Amino acid sequence: MRLDGLLVRYLAVAVVGVFIISTGEASVPTGPYISYQTTSTLDDDVNDNHPDATSTTVGSSLPTGTPGNASMSVVSTDSDSMTVLEGGHHTTTLINGTATSSSTPTPSTSPVVNTQPCNGYVEFCDRSYSNITNIVAHNSPFVRPGNIASNQALDLEDQLNDGIRTIQFQTHLINGTLYLCHTNCDLLNVGPLEDYLARVNRWMRKNPYEVITIFMGNFDLVNPANFTGPIERSGLMDLVWTPPKVPMGLDDWPTLASMILSNKRAIFTLDYGTNQTAFPWLMDQFSQVWETPFSPTHEDFPCTVQRPPGLPPKEIANRMYMANHNLNLRVDLGLTDAEILVPNMAYLVDTNGVSGYGSLGSMAENCTDKWGRPPNFLLVDYYNYGKPNGSVFEVAAQMNNVTYKGNCCGKSSDATTHLGTMLSYEE
């Protein structure tokens, strides 16, 4: 696609040397990849929520303002026990085996049924974190109408209310402060990382049965210590989950219920430059998760491993994986070998669809067939678009073998794109 006139001059000034690509696919972000020869086990007290924990009561640590001033307690969390979620207006229970507690258990012939959803579904409570497919809001903070670098239409709170449980973004260090910028802070800067995470914190305090995953991009490859201050000042630190092992294998992850019961519900990863010796809770993304090709421009959406490169089959099988399903469009700036990538809005509804060529549903099925398990993360632009709006959540529900509840999304979709009527779509 070719653009001329004032728009070309604006884009050339805004993104020259930044978004510009010359030939072939988009430049793939890269950095130092960490390779572990052995698995390290951290101290037992890093969390009270890993599968071998014996007993935890966390009611006093829950925030005020939760439904009914909810408290939560766990009767016992060993592998042969029953976990009880207690709070709000009712008591809920998960079946993991034979119930045990400090008192002599009373055998029961009646089935115990959990009615408290975890991340939106009752079925997720006793599932391992690594056995759930999540929709990822690609570049979650970048919501600015009229800006070519935006990737979402709805604000963070709408995203979370609609069912997004994994957010992803890019950070840039400017004068000692981490900002959320898309490739270049002159192109799109939505403010400090700390402010954005404070909004996540406020939402999580009001929603105590939700586990949120945060994929952070370290664009400038700065020291990971730069991230600890914003996270601490945001108020999230007491909710941060710390892995009991480094790295975490596919079968090492706890259940959502155990994370919720311990009130350690915020999972942080950094793509490059982590140091889990100094900050064990700031997880190295690519030691836990591999990804399919970055910024695809063709509807084929191959489910091959791109990052980290050269991953052995055994490690592919032992890590979670993310399917990148954000279709991009090449825009010719009218300069020599100068192009940028923007979300392909013309195909967006089909891209986020449940079925059909190039759809999210089709890619998810192809990945499942190829790797013998569904993707853990489905990364999308403008998650609220689809057939119908919010169809990305229906795809995730199918991968999770649960029934999609519908009723998405937070606001009516604004179909006018950042390039004006050239790519506009009307529902």
CB 414 within 8 A of CB 421: no
Q: What are phi and psi of 137, to 5 degrees?
A: -80, 100
Catalytic residue among 182, 298, 325, 418: 182
Catalytic residue among 50, 138, 172, 325: 138
CB 350 within 8 A of CB 356: yes
Residues 6+ apart with CB under 8 A from 162: 154, 383, 384, 390, 393, 408, 409, 410
Is residue 50 among the annotated active site residues?
no
Residue with tokens 């013998």: 372
CB 289 within 8 A of CB 307: no
Residue 96 CA, chain-centre distance (Å), reads 27
Q: Determine the residue type at 171.
A: T
Is residue 138 among the annotated active site residues?
yes
Q: Report the candidate in 218, 214, 247 with the shortest Cα–Cα distance to residue 29.
A: 218
Residue 421 CA, chain-centre distance (Å), reads 31
Q: Determine the residue type at 1.
A: M
- Catalytic residues, by residue number, are 138, 182
